Chains A and B, each alone.
Chain A
Amino acid sequence: MAEQVPFDEAIERYDPVLGLEVHVELNTASKMFCGCSTAFGAPPNTQVCPTCLGLPGSLPVVNERAVESAMRIGLALNCSIAPWSRFARKNYFYPDMPKDFQTSQYDEPIAFEGYLDVAVPGMDDDKPATVRVAIERAHMEEDTGKSTHVGGSTGRIHGADYSLVDYNRAGVPLIEIVTKPIEVEPHLAPSVAKAYVTELRELIVALGVSDAHMHQGSMRVDANVSLKPRGASTLGTRTETKNVNSMRSVERAVRYEVERQAAVLDVKGKVIQETRHFHESDGSTTSGRSKEEAEDYRYFPEPDLVPVAPSEDTIEALRKELPEPPLQRRQRLREEWGISQHEMQSLLNAGGLEMVEATIALGTDQANARKWWTGELARHANERGVTLAELPVTAEHVARLVELTNDGSLNDKLARQVIDGVMAGEGGPDDVVKARGLAVVSDDGPLLAAIDIALADQPDVAEKIRAGKVQAAGAIVGAVMKATAGQADAARVRELVLERLAP
């Protein structure tokens, strides 16, 4: 039997149903239940204490900042915030889990019943399809330690010669965000999965609660996929593809599972309920642990912690401080600036939305603000391998630069030299202009002198202009610009040349 059915063929016969579980590692300074640092990349087992090592007798205490972040995420996802919620213990044995239970939330999550609107690209350019993804819950839990299995061929615990465990990550606060089943037009399923994760990531970043670096694992996605025969109402058996670590991988993993499960169902086979591993190299998934042999987690309320019971006032105060939802913000800015979806997308791809917005807020027109950030500055950022926000150039610098070009003090070429100066740490635009002596030569005297020299050097060109071939003036203008090291206003030079040779 075929291992996969081409996607377009698969969705002729089956409707995919998705469920996405996203783990977000919060960027709180300390762990969920103790005071240890959460900083990434420290030497193994240096950020640990009796509590996050689960030593006998140790007890957890809830990190209030993490609870606040959880509530902000819940509110931003339009969820209800539970006035009273509890932690629960999820019991299972694994060496990287110090207590052999994970402190999580079970039937009483802090946030529940919400939604996130996501824009699905690739539709009508200026009117992207907006899909509303229903959120089941967002709950708090702690991360596990990190195992490294040494020796053996699989990199997994079985067959390894020995295993090392780093507990620095154990106890780092996580928020798990779970969607309700997502059923969209079948051909959109993979792109909706990607768009949801993209939109969620932007939201998390806008909230400032996590770095949400997928490649560092501070945002991890598990994708649940099932198929049901076209038009059927009962859900099929689902698989859960774990730790899909990029936006593109989410899309690929969903697509692959649709193709794979369709092939199984086509020959009247049974999809096995199991966890699957995604492979970046070829975009495939392979079988992990079967859920049939999965443990019973024996959840029960965590007796070492008291319930989380935020007041109505606290919740409302957090709600008021929420940033504008990213999708809404993008739509608003697009309308305000009058730019196309495509232009907005290139701005987003350059990561320059905030910088452009800040520059406009300083009085710069949107076209100039976008031109500098997505052009010259994006080039510098690329060269340096940093984001626009990380450049030494600020919105204030760009706004001033545009002012100087608008009033004729600088031309584009000089402006680029000013940017070079700012990048080199020579100060703000005014400092660079002053220090480098960059200014458009506005006095006609020196220009006329330069023009006379150029005309004398190129008598044939002068003759042509006199004869009415005005376009020949470019050669004289070019020579004058060269002679003035680019500091002349080219348009003025042209005017003067034509005046000089007027019949």
Chain B
Amino acid sequence: MAKELTRWTASEMAQAVAAGEVSALEITDAHLERISDVDTDLHAFLHVDADGARAAAQTVDQLRAKGQLPSPLAGVPLALKDVFATEGIPTTCGSKILQGWRPPYDATVTRRLKDAGVVILGKTNMDEFAMGSSTENSAYGPTRNPWDYDRIPGGSSGGSSAAVASYEAPLAIGTDTGGSIRQPAAVTGIVGVKPTYGGVSRFGLVAFSSSLDQGGPFARNVLDAALLHSVIAGKDPRDATSIDAPVPDVVAAAKGEMGDIKGLRVGVVTELQGDGYQPGVLARFEEIVELLKSLGAEIVTVSCPAFEYALPAYYLIAPSECSSNLARFDGMRYGLRAGDDGNNSVEEVMSLTRAEGFGDEVKRRIMLGTYALSAGYYDAFYGQAQKVRTLISRDFERAYREVDVLISPTTPTVAFPIGERVDDPVAMYKADLATLPSSLYGGPALSLPAGLGDADLPVGVQLMAPVQRDDLIYRVAASIETALLDKWGGPLLDQLPLDAAGSVAQGVSHGG
């Protein structure tokens, strides 16, 4: 084979399966082998379901033989963030408190993937309950960045981004609450999309912050992301907040069938650059803006003053919701139970369980949120944050009267070294500066590789669009991607030093 199987795109794999050139089982086995080669050190997976994956692949092969392939991604392997319920398969959310829990049901996303013939290889590592930007908050140890094993792969969906960037899987599912898909995609050099809030069902997605959480795709190119997006999106009667309207045709947009970007108005957000952004990040960003201009887009500078308050608003709303969402982990019905020795009261057992089962960051946010919702503080904190959220949404709406999409760097910096920010929560929170506003607004946003920045590490550019215009970000991203492929002579990931993505020993060369 000209190219190793695991390096194919998802669409190439699906087409090869459909054409009978390669079996889904062969593809799955190649990825399982890749995982066993690199994951001991990379640690993208918390649980690999080799038997389940092989069985699913065989089912796809049988269906193909009958000419009944269920979707354009049938037979393609995928890494699923460990925050989605999977029937009979451990689901830990990166937390000790859920160690050993095997859900009796599938999340809607899980179900749709299975129904589409997508082969779920296993569950990926994450910051505990999706709280973090580095995957260092996992109770099961950090995941490494394939570009430099001493650096973080982003978070909270760091296991998913690392799996895709290191060719353990061509596709992955993550969740994005404040940037947890886009930031990991940016720092590992892949594509990551946060769909419009309500676009993808949250049923079975273990909640961190219900009004912000959104599942979405990771892939190594725009079309693959769009194909995955269309498999998981759409109205779900089991999620009251899921949108009851047709899913924007993201696949057509990614294929360029909805037009190029000539005359499209692209807004550069003043507030999402400047201080705090690394020179290499800004340089790559400027190049993308110039590229868009050269492709015929109209560049407009827009100001969104309320974005300055996105971070404090987010760190009141998300912790408030999480303090309530995570109350159910009390040791009574499932997961860890501590102190049940016959001498402790039920309150003491609950308290001991939570003390032992939750990590520091989760406790920090539960306490923040509990405080913010308390009688006498509610208006000053939660109430005020909701007002800011409204102002941010108005800034977006005003901007979208002038432009079609907005653009910014995805993250202020490239991947930082493991351990650098663990004792400085605010520095950690700042990794999401540019991604928080569209989370609070609810519109779709996508991160796309923009080149290498400081320390020769990947930089991402973020595209944002109005609610339910997910097609627009795919359309613009596809145009940029095509131009960059020409310029680079291949995907950015081809610049990932082979030894780093490859065998274990060389994996730590960058940081070492």
Contacts and interface: CB of A to CB of B under 8 A. Distances in A.
Contacts of A304: 202, 207, 210, 240-241
Interface in A55-95: 55-62, 89, 91, 93, 95
B96 to A, nearest CB: 14
A303 B211 contact: yes
A280 to B, nearest CB: 27
A99 interface: yes
Interface string A163-207: 101000000000000000000000000000000000000000000
Contacts of B350: 93
A50 B382 contact: no
B84 A57 contact: yes
A95 B324 contact: no
Nearest to B129: A56
Nearest to B209: A303
B324 A91 contact: yes
Contacts of B346: 95, 157, 163
B240 A57 contact: no
A61 B329 CA distance: 22
Given A89-B324, A98-B328, A101-B327, A57 B347 contact: no
Contact of B240 (A61, A93, A163, A299): A61
Contacts, number: 103
B334 A55 contact: yes
A306 B370 contact: no
B324 A57 contact: no
Which one of A56, A57, A62 has the greatest number of beta carbons of chain B within 10 Å?
A: A56
Interface string B237-271: 11111000000000000000000000000000000
B471 interface: no
A158 B345 CA distance: 7
Interface residues of B, number: 45
A354 B329 CA distance: 51
Interface stretch (B69-77, B99-107, B275-283, B460-468): B99-107
Interface string A101-120: 10000000000000000000
A56 B347 CA distance: 21
Interface in B182-214: 202-207, 209-211
B333 A59 contact: no
A99 B321 CA distance: 13
A99 B327 contact: yes
A448 B99 CA distance: 98
A163 B205 CA distance: 30
A57 B374 contact: no
B98 to A, nearest CB: 7
Interface string B107-134: 1000000000000000000000000000
B320 interface: yes
A98 B240 contact: no
A99 B105 CA distance: 17
A158 B346 CA distance: 9
Interface in B70-88: 84-85
Nearest to A162: B342
Given A54-B328, A59-B202, A59-B238, A93 B347 contact: yes
Contact of A300 (B206, B324, B329): B324
Given A61-B238, A298-B370, A298-B373, A53 B327 contact: no
B327 A300 contact: no
Contacts of A55: 85, 103-105, 333-334
A306 B346 CA distance: 34
Given A298-B370, A300-B373, A57 B207 contact: yes
A98 B333 contact: yes
Contacts of A299: 373
Contacts of B320: 300
Contacts of B347: 93
A296 interface: yes
Interface string B323-345: 11001111011100000000001
Given A53-B333, A56-B85, A303 B240 contact: no
Contacts of B19: none
Contacts of A91: 323-324, 327, 373
A50 B375 CA distance: 31
A60 B210 CA distance: 12
Contact of B332 (A56, A59, A95): A95
B152 interface: no
Contacts of A89: 324
Contacts of B138: none
A264 interface: no
Contact of B98 (A54, A56, A59, A296): A56
A306 B202 CA distance: 14
B111 to A, nearest CB: 12
A347 interface: no
A350 interface: no
Interface in A269-308: 296, 298-300, 303-306
A100 interface: yes
A287 to B, nearest CB: 20
Which one of B93, B101, B203, B320 has the greatest number of beta carbons of chain A within 10 Å?
A: B203
A186 B8 CA distance: 85
Interface string B170-189: 00000000000000000000
A50 B104 contact: yes
Contacts of B207: 56-57, 304
Interface string B142-164: 00000000000000000000000
A57 B103 contact: yes
A299 B372 CA distance: 11
A56 B328 contact: yes
A300 B347 CA distance: 23
A55 B107 CA distance: 11
A62 B238 CA distance: 10
B378 A300 contact: yes
Given A91-B373, A101-B324, A163-B346, A57 B241 contact: no
B93 to A, nearest CB: 7
B411 interface: no
A303 B321 contact: yes
B91 interface: yes
A161 to B, nearest CB: 9
Contact of A56 (B206, B209, B211, B374): B206
B210 A58 contact: no
A99 B240 contact: no
B509 to A, nearest CB: 39
A219 to B, nearest CB: 28
A441 B197 CA distance: 85
Given A50-B104, A55-B105, A60 B93 contact: no
A91 B382 CA distance: 15
A163 B345 CA distance: 11
B382 A306 contact: no
B327 A57 contact: no
Contacts of B205: 57
Given A99-B328, A303-B210, A60 B373 contact: no
Contacts of A158: 345
A304 to B, nearest CB: 5
Contacts of B103: 50, 55-57
29 contacts: A50-B104, A50-B105, A53-B333, A54-B328, A56-B103, A56-B207, A57-B85, A57-B91, A57-B207, A59-B202, A59-B239, A59-B240, A61-B237, A91-B323, A91-B373, A93-B327, A93-B330, A98-B328, A100-B327, A100-B330, A158-B345, A163-B346, A296-B374, A296-B375, A298-B375, A304-B207, A304-B240, A306-B240, A306-B241
Given A93-B350, A101-B327, 9 more contacts: A56-B93, A56-B103, A56-B207, A57-B84, A60-B240, A99-B328, A163-B346, A298-B375, A304-B241
Interface of B: 84-85, 91, 93, 98, 101, 103-105, 107, 202-207, 209-211, 237-241, 320-321, 323-324, 327-330, 332-334, 345-347, 350, 370, 373-375, 378, 382
7 closest A-B pairs (Cβ-Cβ)? Answer: A100-B327, A303-B210, A298-B373, A303-B211, A57-B204, A56-B206, A57-B85
